Every structure is written in structure tokens, then in C-alpha cells.
Amino acid sequence: MTIFKSMFWWRLVKHCISVALSLLILSTNASFALDYVIKEVIEIGEADFVPFLGPVKWSPDGSQLAFIKNGILKISDTLGNVREVGKLDMAPHSFDWVSENQIAVSMRAYPGPSINTEEKLVLMDTQTGRITSVHEFTTSPGYRKEPGKTTSSGPYKTAEGSNYYLFTTYNSKSGNTVVEKRAFSQNKSESIKNDHILNWGDDGLYMVTLDGRDSVRLTEKPTKNIIGPTYINKERTHILMRNLIISLVDSSRISLRSKIGPPAPNTVVCGTAWYSFNPVVSEVLFTITCDDGDNYIVNRLGLYDFKRDSLTVIDSAVGISHCEFGEYSPKGNDVAFFANGKVYILNREKR
């Protein structure tokens, strides 16, 4: 009964906060978003940052969000009703949904100097919390590549949106390494084999099938040194890389750095990072980051409509500072984001 009461009051408080934020947004930003209008901002709960993919991931159908707090995997619906799925026994390095019922979690534990490092990739059932181990790896700390042993990294995304992991086995005899790409899916065996990945070659960007059989050159290199990941939109008309949107149709380029304006006060460098394409409309989501050469000072979340040349800074629109690591929902209308140790949903609807 006590629990019920406290849950009731908690939901009431959250609802009030959401309504207040919604009113603030609607009253202060009438021109916000051209394809969508914001309905409300929903605070989901506290979360830890997970370095490789970020702190929050949408389920494939967009009905749930997964995040981790204090080593516990949690799932929320889009209204902020959170439940605990299960405890992780090592620190999460990345996680993402495999299906509506499973989440793959890459974990690592480094107990201390001179003691072996453990690395683990597991599948966690989102209903029962049961953990199935996919791969475990133990090595000495740090750098050494041990012949015959396999490490994993990922997940990386194919152009079609599937996740895949790299498993690398070191072979000291031949001097070569064997890299195995492994993808998890739900009855998608055939289609994943034909999925594509993006690879920068010496003379440009190529789209290559996952097994490396076929490749098509998409565009030339825009800069000598390519850093950070490259993304392609669903229609395969644009790619997104560090500070640049490049049209694959007419090779035109849009500099996101030029859109975000001059460096913020007390900073010397501002740019963009952690991108994603909206799966439905001509919109990209990214983190705006500014630093003073030693420390990052300001993070904000930006939405840019590249057909209408319109930038929206989420922080200003919703009145929350330090928004970052946004991720579109599968339908493209909602955005999950992270700010000051909490996960939020920016709920939007089509105009």
C-alpha cells in the first residue's frame, strides 16, 4: 500500500513537471521544429553514461527505452513507467536491443593491475532478466594480444540498421588476425548477409556488403584525415560525418559547424558529435560540444532540418541544460536524450 501510494505521488509529480515543461515550450517557441511540434518532455529517470553507444536505447518498435543505473538494466515505457530487468555483474561498455525481448550488453571488468581483464558479451531477456553468455574473454591488463584468443567490440550498425559485433582472433603464427563479423537478429539471417557497411578507402567512401563481396563507391574523401563514424540515411541520399552533411546526389555539403554559430563564451572550439538521421524526415540529431582546448565546457543537443536549413537547440527549447546523446525513436517523432545524469523523452507529433 505504501509503495502504491509513493508510486502514485511520483507519477503525479512527474506529470506536473511534464505539463509545466510543455507549457513552457509551447509558450516560448512557436516556430520549433518544422515537421513536428513538441507535445511534452517526459523525465524517465536517472541513468549512467555508457561510453560506446550512449546511455539510452529505443526498443525496435519504439514502445520502450532501455538504460542502466548502478549496474542495473532498466526499461521504461514512453510514459516513464520504469521497471528493473536485471543486475549486470560487470561494467557496461555498450548495449542495444536485439529484439523486443532481448538486449545485448557488452561488459568489462578490470579488477586491478596485474590481474586478468574480463570481457563479456551477453544477451539479457527483457522479461525474465535471464542472461545468456555469447562470448567471454580473459586477458592480462591492457595491450597484449594473445595468440588464439578472441576479443570483441561493437556493436556497429549496418546501413540497413542492424547491429553487428566484431570478433577478432589473433594468430601469432601467421602474423594475421582473423576478423569475424557477427550480427544478432530475429529471423533475419538472409537479409543480414546482404546488409551493407560504410568504409573509407584511400579514394573515397565505399558501401560494402557485410561479407565484403560487393562494394560501391559513394563519394570522394572530403578531408584528408577521416575521424569519427560515418552514417547514411535510409534513402541513401546523404551521409553524415564529423560536422558535415554530404549529399550523395549532387555532392553538395552542409557544414554543421557553420550552423551552430561562433564558440560559446569561454570556449575556443565548437563542433558537433554523436549524430543520427531521422528515419522519416530530412532531419539530423547531434550533440553540440564546445571546449576551451583542455576541457569541454558546453554540451547541447541540436536538431537540424537540412532541407529547410533550420536549427533547433533542444536545451533552449525545453529549458534543460547539458542535453546530449539524443536518439530518434524508430518512427522518428520522439527523441530520447540524456542530460545531467537523467534520461528524458522529447515527445513530438507531426504537424
Residues 23-82 that bind other proteins (CB under 8 A): 48-49, 51-52, 70-71
Within 8 A by CB and 6+ apart from 133, the residues are 120, 121, 122
The CA distance from 83 to 75, in Å, is 5
CB of 326 to other proteins, least distance (A): 14
Q: Which stretch binds other proteins (CB under 8 A): 6-14, 19-27, 30-38, 179-187?
A: 179-187
Binders of other proteins in range 324-343 (CB under 8 A):
324, 339-341
Q: Is 176 in the site for other proteins (CB under 8 A)?
A: yes
Q: Does 304 help bind other proteins (rule: CB under 8 A)?
A: no
Answer yes or no: are the C-beta atoms of 38 and 346 closer than 8 Å: yes
Element at 5 (helix H, strand E): helix 2-28
**The binder of other proteins chosen from 6, 63, 177, 266 (CB under 8 A):** 177
Question: Which of 271, 279, 319, 330 touches other proteins (CB under 8 A)?
Answer: 271
DSSP string, 157-171: E-TTS-EEEEEEEE-
CB of 46 to other proteins, least distance (A): 10
Nearer to other proteins, 11 or 145 (CB): 145
The only residue of 274, 306, 328, 344 in contact with other proteins, by rule CB under 8 A: 274
Residue 96's Cα: distance from chain center in Å? Answer: 9
The verdict on 258 binding other proteins (CB under 8 A) reads no
- For other proteins, which residue of 22, 29, 102, 310 counts as binding (CB under 8 A)? 102
Within 110-139, the residues that bind other proteins by CB under 8 A are: 110, 112-114, 116-117, 123, 125, 127, 134
Closest CA to 201 of 181, 185, 221, 187: 221
Peptide bond into 55 cis (omega under 30): no
Q: Which of residues 282-301 bind other proteins (CB under 8 A)?
A: 287, 289-291, 293-296, 299
Tell me whether residue 24 or residue 109 sits nearer to other proteins (CB atom).
109
Give whole-number Cα distances, 119 to 83, 106, 167, in Å. 26, 8, 12
Among 146, 220, 235, 349, binds other proteins (CB under 8 A): 146
Distance between alpha carbon 320 and the CA centroid of its chain, in Å?
20
Q: CA dihedral in degrees (210, 213, 217, 222; nearest 10)?
A: 50
Number of residues that bind other proteins (CB under 8 A): 99
* Cβ distance to other proteins smaller for residue 95 or 184: 184
What is the C-alpha to C-alpha distance for residues 274 and 321, in angstroms, rounded to an integer? 17
